[in-house]
Structure 1
Amino acid sequence: MIHTVADLLLGIIKNELPKLDSAPVKHAPTIGDMYEGLSSEVLNHALPDGLGLRIVSGFACDDRGALSGQLDCMIVRGDGEKLPYVNSYVWHVKDIIAVVEVKKTLHGAELRDAIAQLNTVSAIERFYYQSDMRQSEYDNRSVTPSIRTFAEMTGNIAWDGEKFVPLSHEEGALLGALLLEQLSSVRVALGMHGFKSERAFRAAMVSYLEEVVGKVGSGPTDFPQLIISGSYSLAKANGRPFMIPLIDGWWPFYFSTPENPLRILLEFIWTRLDEMYGFGSQLWGEDLETEVARTLLSVRATCHEGREGWEVRIHEANNEDLAKAPTTEKWSPQFINLEEFILLDRLCRGKEVYSSDPELLSFLAAHGVSFDEITDRLVQTRLVARSGEGLRLIAKECHLAILPTGEYVAAENSTGRLTRWIQHRVNDSRY
């Protein structure tokens, strides 16, 4: 379904955008209103029915009365305050699902302006969710998705079922960032026209980063979740929906892609709605193809002489590198061996897996594998994570299967993705 809707939205833009581009009006605010109107129309088509969601323009606020800059499009729930004599609203940040800042073109100056405008929202959100007021919001929205993403990224649990476990400074900063990413709005900068190459887009973001690095408001949570410039996107790998495991302690948090930008937009918005309202598998279709992240920026939390911050690493890529790199790949479950299958099955049945279990150690020794070796292999599946001296299942619905070939596979199957993959595999083997 997501591909169908994304293609529909792209068709709307391709059909309507030339009309806006050729309009005889030269009045800048009117031109801006036209592009914002088209964006609102596209977003309206993207929202599932029956949730009572609205698309408005206006300002974000919090309980202190702090206001953001004027925002082009907000996807909101609940009630806001309509301003007198204008079609504009003030909406509390806890009820804002997504914010879209719209630009006719998105190049250097426009890119900086769009990020600065969206940062007026993130500043309010950071204060709200990191203050005492956040507790009521945590009670109303489960932070389980962030806990799971942290475990997938690091291979270690942060919550033992009753309390948060002790974490290093780097891990604590990462978990805090993931929690804020889940609770805050999806912030999007949308440029109808933009850079003519992916490399130029990446270079513009690096140029922006060089200007703001080291300043307040330049951490990973301050970057928009998605920036669209014409046919290219820069997206954040925050686990909602895109997740990239840590590499030597570095979080590859920002990547580029030439894939249909409206599909990327839907991925972000629908993932947020799914976490809030629970849609199951009907939104995602077959979901047997995944985007390949072309990493642009990696970060790592640091603390030097009492000052906390983030180190940034830039990943260069020229036009040739980007042209050779795949944009998508076929999804596949984890192919595992018998020992891994047995331990995963044990976890799926609610039983414990600990390094001090003599029966388990005897079984592994008989098969020529140590507990540490099988732990490393299972953690790499992103279905389990280390928990003290044992392993804990972190997948929402971990399913196992033995293929007709005798191979063992395992995967997250909460959306039915593994079931669909097996059906395709079986059908293909008949020919």
Structure 2
Amino acid sequence: MIRTIADLLSDILRKELPKLDKAPIKHAPTIGEMYEGLSSEILNRALPNGLGLRVVSGFARDNRGCLSGQLDCMVVRGEGERLPYTDSYVWHVKDIIAVIEVKKNLHSAELRDAFTQLKTVSAIEHSYYQSGDEELDDPDRSMAPSARTFAEMTGRIAWNAEGAATLPHEEEAVFRALLLEQVSAIRVILGMHGFKSERAFRSSMIDYLEQNIGNNGFGPTDFPQLIISGGYSLAKANGRPFMTPLTDGWWPFYFSTPENPLRLLLEFIWTRLDEMYGFGRELWGEDLEIEVGRALLSFRAARIDGRGGWLVKAHEADDESLNQVPVTEQWSPEFIGKEEFVLLMRLCRGEEVRCDDPEVISWLESRGVEFNSVRDRLLKTRLVASSGQNLELVTKKCQLAILPTGEYVAAENSTGRLDRWIFRRIETMRKRASGE
């Protein structure tokens, strides 16, 4: 469904955008209003019905009266305050789902301007969520999604029924960043037109970051979740929906892609709404094709002059290197061995799997396999994570299957993705066998 709707919105944009581009208007504010109006129309069409969501323009505020800069588009819930004699609103930051800063053209100067504008939102959010003003009984603020993402990224459990785990500084900083990402508004820069190449877009962001190394406001949580410049996008891998595992302590948190920008926008917004309201499997369609990001920026938490900070690493790439990376690839479950299959079965039944369990160790030794080897293979699936001596599932709904070929597979199946993959796989095998 998400691909179908993204294609529909792209078709609307292709038809309507030329009309705005050709409009004989030279008045800059009016031009801005036209592009913001088209963006609002696209957003309204992208939102599911029945949730009471609205698209407005105006300002974000916190409990203490602090205001953001003026914002082009906000996806909001609840109630806001309409400013007298205007179509603008003031909305509490906790009820803002997404903020979109719209630009007719997005090049280096506009990128810097929009980035700065959206930081006025993140500054209010950071202050609100770290001040104790947050309404902690809000049912939408469970830390479970962040804990699950952290476990997938690191292979470690940060939070369970027994409370918080003791984490090294580098991982603690990542977990805190993920928590803030979960509750913060999705911040988007939407440039209708922009850079002529993906490489030029990437270089502009790297140059901007290099000019601000050491300045406040350039950590992972300060970056917009999505920046669109014409047909290219920069997106954040914060687990909502895109996730990348830590590599030697580095978090590859920003990537570029030429994928349909409106599909990415839908992915970010619908993932947030799914966490808040629970849509069910029908929302995502077959969901058997996934985006492949081209790594742009990696961050690593560190102690700098006695204070917490972030080290950053840019991944340079020329046009040839970028073109060698596919835009999408077909999803598939994890192919596992019988030992991993048996241990996952135990976890799915609610049984413990401990690295010091003599029964498990004895069975594995009888098969000529060490527990540590099986544990490492299980951790690589991102379906489980370690918690002390235990392995724990980190999925919503882990399911296993034995294929007609005798192969063992396992996957998260809360959206029915594994079911659809198995059906397609069997259908393909049937057609090959019948010579179709």
Scaled to the shorter chain, the TM-score interval is over 0.9
1:377 aligns with 2:377: yes
Distance between the aligned counterparts of 1:379 and 1:356, measured in 2? 17
Note the C-alpha offset of 1:132: 1.1
Distance between the aligned counterparts of 1:141 and 1:248, measured in 2? 30
Distance between the aligned counterparts of 2:36 and 2:383, measured in 1? 42
Distance between the aligned counterparts of 1:158 and 1:174, measured in 2? 11
Note the C-alpha offset of 1:323: 1.2
Q: What's the Cα RMSD here?
A: 0.9
Note the C-alpha offset of 1:160: 2.7
Higher deviation after alignment, 111-120 or 210-219? 210-219
Note the C-alpha offset of 1:133: 1.9
Distance between the aligned counterparts of 2:120 and 2:405, measured in 1? 56
- Deviations 1:175-216 (CA, angstroms, capped at 9, x unpaired): 000000000000000000000100000000001101222111
- Deviations 1:358-385 (CA, angstroms, capped at 9, x unpaired): 1110001111111111111000000000
Note the C-alpha offset of 1:391: 0.3
SS at match of 1:274: helix
- Runs of 4+ in structure 1 off by over 4 angstroms are 137-140
- Deviations 1:401-420 (CA, angstroms, capped at 9, x unpaired): 00000000000000000000
Q: Which residue of 2 aligns with 1:67?
A: 67
Distance between the aligned counterparts of 1:138 and 1:299, measured in 2? 30
Q: Give the partner amino acid of 1:171.
A: E
Unaligned stretches of 5+ in structure 1?
none
Unaligned stretches of 5+ in structure 2?
432-436
Distance between the aligned counterparts of 1:70 and 1:135, measured in 2? 25
- Partners of 2:199 and 2:319 within 8 A in 1: yes
Matched ranges for 1:391-406 at <5 A: 391-406=391-406
Matched ranges for 1:75-94 at <5 A: 75-94=75-94
Distance between the aligned counterparts of 1:140 and 1:23, measured in 2? 43
User: What is the TM-score normalised by the length of structure 1?
Assistant: 0.99
- Partners of 2:61 and 2:124 within 8 A in 1: yes
1:407 aligns with 2:411: no
Q: Which residue of 2 aligns with 1:234?
A: 234
1:20 aligns with 2:8: no
1:154 aligns with 2:118: no
SS at match of 2:99: strand
Distance between the aligned counterparts of 1:120 and 1:129, measured in 2? 15
Distance between the aligned counterparts of 1:145 and 1:307, measured in 2? 28
- Deviations 1:322-362 (CA, angstroms, capped at 9, x unpaired): 11111111000000000000000000000000111111100
1:32 aligns with 2:32: yes
SS at match of 2:40: helix
Note the C-alpha offset of 1:135: 5.5
Q: Give the partner amino acid of 2:94.
A: K
1:298 aligns with 2:303: no
1:340 aligns with 2:327: no
Distance between the aligned counterparts of 2:162 and 2:30, measured in 1? 55
Note the C-alpha offset of 1:283: 1.3
Q: Give the partner amino acid of 1:268.
A: F
Higher deviation after alignment, 280-289 or 413-422? 280-289
Q: Give the partner amino acid of 1:193.
A: H
Distance between the aligned counterparts of 1:213 and 1:265, measured in 2? 28
Note the C-alpha offset of 1:137: 5.5
User: What is the TM-score normalised by the length of structure 2?
Assistant: 0.98
Residues 237, 137 of structure 1: alpha-carbon distance in 2 compared, 3 angstrom cutoff: farther
SS at match of 1:326: coil
Distance between the aligned counterparts of 2:400 and 2:308, measured in 1? 43
Q: Which residue of 2 aligns with 1:170?
A: 170
Residues 313, 333 of structure 1: alpha-carbon distance in 2 compared, 3 angstrom cutoff: same
- Partners of 2:401 and 2:408 within 8 A in 1: yes
- Partners of 2:140 and 2:276 within 8 A in 1: no
- Deviations 1:123-175 (CA, angstroms, capped at 9, x unpaired): 00001111212352666521100000000000000013131111111111000
Distance between the aligned counterparts of 1:183 and 1:244, measured in 2? 19
Q: Give the partner amino acid of 1:342.
A: V
Note the C-alpha offset of 1:54: 0.3
Q: Which residue of 2 aligns with 1:319?
A: 319
Q: Give the partner amino acid of 1:173.
A: A
Distance between the aligned counterparts of 1:283 and 1:257, measured in 2? 23
Distance between the aligned counterparts of 2:298 and 2:250, measured in 1? 6
Matched ranges for 1:238-387 at <5 A: 238-387=238-387
Note the C-alpha offset of 1:305: 3.2
Q: Which residue of 2 aligns with 1:6?
A: 6
Q: Give the partner amino acid of 1:237.
A: A
- Partners of 2:290 and 2:331 within 8 A in 1: yes
